[in-house]
Amino acid sequence: MFVPSLWVVSAAIVERGVMEGFIRGLPKVELHLHIEGTLEPEMMFEMAGRNGVTLPFADVDEVRAAYQFSDLQSFLDIYYQGAEVLQTERDFHDLMWAYLSRMAGENLRHAEIFFDPQTHLGRGIGFETFMGGFATAQQNARERLGITTKLIMCFLRHLDGAEAVATIRAAMPFKGAIAAVGLDSGERGNPPERFADAFAMAREAGLRAVAHAGEEGPPAYITGALDVLGAERIDHGVACEQDEALLDRLVASRIPLTMCPLSNVKLRVFDVMEDHNLKRLLDRGVAVTVNSDDPAYFGGYLTDNYLAIQRALDLSRDDLVALARNGIEATFLDDPSKAVLLADLAAYAAG
């Protein structure tokens, strides 16, 4: 049996630490982050207490122990339940500020953040409440942390197309604060075509478009999101590998995929991280990016996702820089703002 010497073990530990430091310091952007998915159990309990909500858990350890998922739906059930503690403008502010202030320590430079209005509207909580809370935290992040943000309003795909249309109508007074629309929630059996009208209205109003597709659903949902919804980025997209023509199209068009490694293992899209197709897609020329999805539920924020995929697939520093660069290029920032981030990344990689 091979027994590694103390020296080999120590060198491996040092190398891990160096890689972690490199990833932590990389100038990064995040493009696939559900703000409701950053609700840590401690905050869940705090908000439940001040809002008089009774949680079906005795303490934070019990909450964390419940985070064992068999698929996307098993996660969504617990995720929508958790979101019920979010009630006041202060709650939405605190949630957004907790995420952004934490990410300042990971050299996050820019984030395009999903929110699910229908989860809140359905409980009688209006746009002015969550948009007001988000706006204050976003402004503070820009001024105090140097982190810029954009908001992406998602439609829940387990609800019908008419409800999505009503949601985009209700959002119109706030459209100046919203960069794009997206599509999330349970994918299986909920194809993108049902949301064509809502996306058309959003695009007519000048909003950009992205969509979750090919997380658990087939590659046809990716094609549908591109052709019918006008999606400019695909969230997840792991299923694209099953369709050669689609792969060729993604490579030629450089349509970005916002991949979320820890999410995919936690929700059993891949059994183990070593099975993830991120590196194969990167090598093939797809514009792959790394993101955290719902970090409070999936065991890690952005740096953790980079680290997990680096270790499992033995990514090089060049791979990591390419992933960070793909992220910057895939943002909805204007070209001068992208150029600043790209120059910072180049300087970091060279140093």
- CB nearer to ligand ADE: give 262 or 321: 262
Q: Rule CB under 6 A: is residue 276 a binding residue for ligand ADE?
A: no
The size of the interface with Zn ion (CB under 5 A), counted in residues, is 1
Closer CB to Zn ion, 112 or 293, in the complex = 293
Q: Does 37 bind ligand ADE (CB under 6 A)?
A: yes
Residues recognised as catalytic:
215
- HSE-CB for 207 with a 13 A CA cutoff: 28
Query: Whole-angstrom Cα distance, residue 84 to residue 96?
Result: 16
Q: Please report whether residue 91 would count as binding ligand ADE according to CB under 6 A.
A: no
Q: Is there binding between residue 112 and ligand ADE (CB under 6 A)?
A: no
Compute and round to an integer the Cα radius of gyration of the chain: 20
Q: What is the DSSP string of 79-114?
A: HHHHGGG--SHHHHHHHHHHHHHHHHTTTEEEEEEE
- Tell whether residue 212 is a contact of ligand ADE (CB under 6 A): yes
d(C-alpha 217, C-alpha 223), whole Å: 11
Question: Using CA atoms, how far apart are residues 329 and 202, in angstroms rounded to an integer?
Answer: 23
Which residues from 282-301 bind Zn ion, rule CB under 5 A? 293
The option from Zn ion, ligand ADE, none interacting with 37 (CB < 5 to 8 A, set by class) reads ligand ADE
Residue 223 CA to residue 39 CA, distance in Å, equals 32
Helix (H) or strand (E) holding 249: helix 244-253
- Whole-number Cα distances in Å, 25 to 21, 48, 94, 218: 6, 35, 25, 36
72 binds, among Zn ion, ligand ADE, none (CB under 5 to 8 A by kind): ligand ADE
Residue identified by tokens 């699910």 is: 116
Contact 159, 189 (CB under 8 A): no
CB of 232 to Zn ion, least distance (A): 16
Question: What is the nearest approach in angstroms of Zn ion to the Cβ of residue 50?
Answer: 28
- Using alpha carbons, list the distances in angstroms from residue 100 to 97, 149, 249: 5, 9, 34
Q: Is residue 72 close enough to count as binding ligand ADE by CB under 6 A?
A: yes
Closest distance to ligand ADE from the beta carbon of 236 (Å): 7
Nearer to Zn ion, 293 or 319 (CB): 293
Residue nearest to ligand ADE (CB): 184
Per-residue binding string, Zn ion, 237-276, x by CB under 5 A, is ----------------------------------------
**Measured distance CA(144)–CA(104) in Å, rounded:** 10
Query: Measured from the CB of residue 288, what is the shortest distance to ligand ADE in angstroms?
Result: 16
Nearest distance, CB of residue 10 and ligand ADE, angstroms: 38
- Residue 117 binds to ligand ADE (criterion: CB under 6 A): no
Contact between residue 226 and residue 247 where contact means Cβ atoms under 8 Å apart = no
Binding site for Zn ion (CB under 5 A): 293
Binding site for ligand ADE (CB under 6 A): 34, 37, 72, 184-185, 212, 215, 263, 293-294
